[in-house]
């Protein structure tokens, strides 16, 4: 029997629908376990749904990643090692749990890594870079310095007491990169042709964590007119309630998850706004109390208009999460 168009869509988006069902049912509990405020549930929703959407395309290496994580979680064997391996391959995305075969990911607004001098036969660190990505709330104080220090620690790198090193920054692709270059107590930046000699009997020093935090905060700014910076592009929510806040409406997170799924149905599935999309959301995502009316003309109800408006707004972060899956900037 030849499958109908709806059956084709349901097969293509089956992983996405299942991930949405798990998030509708479990996201609040997972957030509590992970110490995530309900207003920041987006940090789980965006990457989890983006990853599930990519799985729906039958991408073999992503399916292999799922098998690795699911097997580790189900057998309770080497989960931390599996998470570390995944995080090395997909910088900025951290698996936090596996529920019913669905990998729950967390989006990290700040990550980074180390680049080495292009010297044959030597592995000398040249640059330590912090990357600040799209985020949906103000960055926690001290977060940047903690991430930076963890990178130094992972590579057994040190920093000087005083700022003798060289730093710079770049803003590209809705991401801010802040870099600290290898230095000594007397030289601020060591060129490649001298690195092997300079660091033959000493180790490179980098900017102190507190200094990197201050530089990055200054560059980000606050979004206010008197403190301009890159916040206007990096912070996707300047004000108003979070789309996952349940303060006024306990069903708000369900609608937001449905809006994210709707975005993928339209953008990646070619399914227009309207009754057919609503039927799929009702069947596969929304709980009974939050179904969208699907009678004639339902695509113009206030609920459906709000849903598709939310879908459009969520698209920026969802596409950012998709890019993160294929990003090789700081992978090893």
Long-range contacts of 286-293 (CB under 8 A, 24+ apart): 286/24, 286/254, 286/255, 286/258, 287/24, 287/251, 287/254, 289/251, 290/251, 290/254, 290/255, 290/258
pLDDT class of 224 with cuts at 50, 70, 90:
low
In this prediction, residues 134-159 reach a mean pLDDT of: 92
Task: Return the percentage of the chain with pLDDT > 70, whole number.
Answer: 93
Tell whether the model's pLDDT for residue 38 goes beyond 90: no
E strand segments, the chain: 93-99, 102-107, 110-116, 125-132, 158-159, 167-172, 175-181, 205-206
Mean pLDDT value across the chain: 88
> What pLDDT digit, counting tens, does each position of 279-322 carry?
999 999 988 878 887 765 445 677 788 889 999 999 999 999 99
> What pLDDT digit, counting tens, does each position of 66-83 carry?
999 999 999 888 999 999
Number of neighbours of residue 173 by Cβ within 10 angstroms: 13
> With a threshold of 0.85, does the pTM exceed it?
yes
Q: What is the pLDDT of residue 160?
A: 77
Separation CA 141–CA 209 (nearest Å) = 13
Q: Where are the domains of the chain?
A: 5-107+239-326, 110-234
Separation CA 134–CA 60 (nearest Å) = 28
> What pLDDT digit, counting tens, does each position of 85-111 carry?
998 888 889 999 999 999 999 999 999
Residue with tokens 């590209």: 172
pLDDT class of 16 with cuts at 50, 70, 90:
very high
Separation CA 261–CA 26 (nearest Å) = 17
């Amino acid at each position: 029997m030849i499958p109908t168009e709806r059956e084709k869509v349901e097969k293509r988006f089956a992983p996405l629908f299942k991930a949405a069902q798990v998030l509708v049912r479990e996201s609040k509990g997972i957030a509590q376990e992970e110490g995530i405020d309900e207003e920041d549930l987006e940090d789980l929703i965006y990457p989890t749904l983006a990853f599930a959407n990519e799985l729906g395309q039958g991408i073999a290496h992503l399916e292999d990643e799922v098998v690795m994580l699911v097997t580790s979680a189900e057998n309770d064997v080497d989960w931390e090692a599996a998470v570390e391996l995944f995080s090395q391959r997909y910088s900025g995305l951290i698996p936090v749990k596996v529920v019913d075969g669905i990998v729950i990911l967390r989006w990290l607004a700040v990550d980074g890594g180390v680049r080495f001098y292009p010297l044959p036969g030597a592995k000398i660190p040249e640059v330590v870079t912090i990357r600040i990505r799209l985020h949906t709330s103000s960055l926690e104080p001290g977060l940047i310095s903690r991430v930076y220090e963890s990178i130094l620690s992972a590579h057994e790198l040190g920093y000087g007491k005083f700022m003798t090193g060289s730093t710079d920054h770049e803003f590209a692709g809705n991401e801010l990169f802040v870099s600290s270059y290898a230095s000594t107590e007397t030289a601020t930046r060591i060129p490649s042709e001298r690195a092997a000699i300079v660091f033959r009997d000493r180790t490179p020093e980098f900017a102190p964590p507190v200094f990197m935090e201050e530089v990055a905060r200054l560059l980000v700014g606050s979004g206010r007119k008197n403190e301009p910076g890159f916040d206007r592009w990096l912070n996707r929510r300047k004000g108003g309630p979070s789309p996952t806040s349940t303060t006024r409406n306990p069903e708000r997170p369900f609608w937001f998850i449905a809006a994210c799924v709707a975005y993928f149905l339209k953008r990646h599935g070619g399914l227009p706004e309207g009754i057919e999309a609503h039927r799929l959301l009702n069947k596969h995502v929304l709980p009974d109390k939050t179904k969208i009316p699907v009678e004639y003309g339902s695509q113009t109800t206030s609920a459906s208009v709000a849903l598709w408006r939310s879908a459009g707004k969520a698209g920026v972060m969802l596409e950012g999460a998709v890019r993160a899956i294929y990003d090789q900037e700081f992978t090893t």
